[in-house]
Amino acid sequence: YPGVDCLRALAVALVVLFHFHFFSVGWIGVDIFFVLSGFLIGGIILDKTASGRFDFVEFYKKRALRILPVYYFSMLLCFVLKAGGVFDFIALKSMLSGMLFLQTTGPYFFPGYFNINDAYIPGGSWSLVTEEMFYLIAPLAIVAVSYLSGKRPWLMLVTLVVAFLSGMAVRAAMTSGFAPDDSSWYFASFIQFHSRYDELVVGVLAAAYLRFAPDVRSQSVWWLSAAITLCFIFLVYIYGNPEFLAKPYLITQDTIWLPTLLGAMGACFEI
């Protein structure tokens, strides 16, 4: 899919520009990445399941070999250059947490046990935690739904739509006791797998739609129009809140619906 490669290049550029302070909303590149991951990985699982050739061991091995060597090398660089090579009990806990992708979920669920020094963990790796959790769960979930759907592809699509929309309910439940100015909003509802899985799910939904819906190419104008409309809504919102534009981690209640909007936008652009 050359178009998907272009979208991936755009997502990379947005994130790089954001981190160099050239484009203040470039962080949405991560949201696009999540949708892309769902689309590509979900498509692989759907195709191999349909042909009866899906192999769990092969899938997990390929994911591990693609990600772990580079990620662990990055952790080594952090240990040497960022943490100064200091190795103590905090360093051990931090590095083990990072190696097992627990650097965000650990402190969230078990704050008393996960005292982590971020110097030992690559910056921005929270998104990789979300991806890894998806790789762990997606094969089991997609194969199960494919088996239960049988010859009824509409049932697969309906299940994915429900799973996508459930993201807002999960984020609302996770933050129901938060005060409006609680600084935990962003951490709880924006950088955890259980708060961002819907963006990955909508990518799987886009992959399933392309495989099951007839003559998708003729619908391109409508999907592009929907994507541009959703993008416009996001830009109106974010530029209408200058404090969020400068510091997105200050976003509170809006983290309940923002991933849903951005996920839908990414899926429409993909289709």
Could you report the per-residue pLDDT of 156-196, keeping only the tens digit for each?
A: 999 999 999 999 999 999 899 898 888 788 888 888 898 89
pLDDT computed for residue 77 by the predictor: 96
Mean pLDDT of the chain: 92
pLDDT confidence band for 113 (50 / 70 / 90)? confident
pLDDT computed for residue 111 by the predictor: 81
Q: Are 32 and 266 in contact (CB under 8 A)?
A: yes
pLDDT computed for residue 123 by the predictor: 87
- Max CA pair span of the chain: 60
pLDDT at 38 over 90: yes
pLDDT confidence band for 259 (50 / 70 / 90)? very high
Query: Angle 219-231-229 (CA atoms, 0-180°, nearest 5)?
Result: 50
Q: Which residues of 96-128 are buried (b: 16+ CB within 10 A; e: fewer)?
A: ebbeebbbbbbbbeeeeebebbebbbbeebbbb
Q: Are 134 and 41 in contact (CB under 8 A)?
A: yes
pLDDT at 249 over 90: no
pLDDT at 127 over 90: yes
pLDDT confidence band for 96 (50 / 70 / 90)? very high
pLDDT at 240 over 90: yes
Q: Please state the length of the chain.
A: 271
pLDDT at 151 over 90: no
| pLDDT tens digits, one per residue of 197-225 | 999 999 999 999 999 998 898 999 999 99
3-state secondary structure of 88: coil
pLDDT computed for residue 227 by the predictor: 97
CB-based contacts of 10, cutoff 8 Å, min separation 6: 29, 32
Mean pLDDT of 6-20: 94
pLDDT confidence band for 101 (50 / 70 / 90)? very high
Of residues 127 and 110, more confidently modeled:
127
pLDDT computed for residue 110 by the predictor: 85
Q: What is the per-residue DSSP string for 99-118?
A: HTT-TTHHHHH-TTT----G
pLDDT at 246 over 90: no
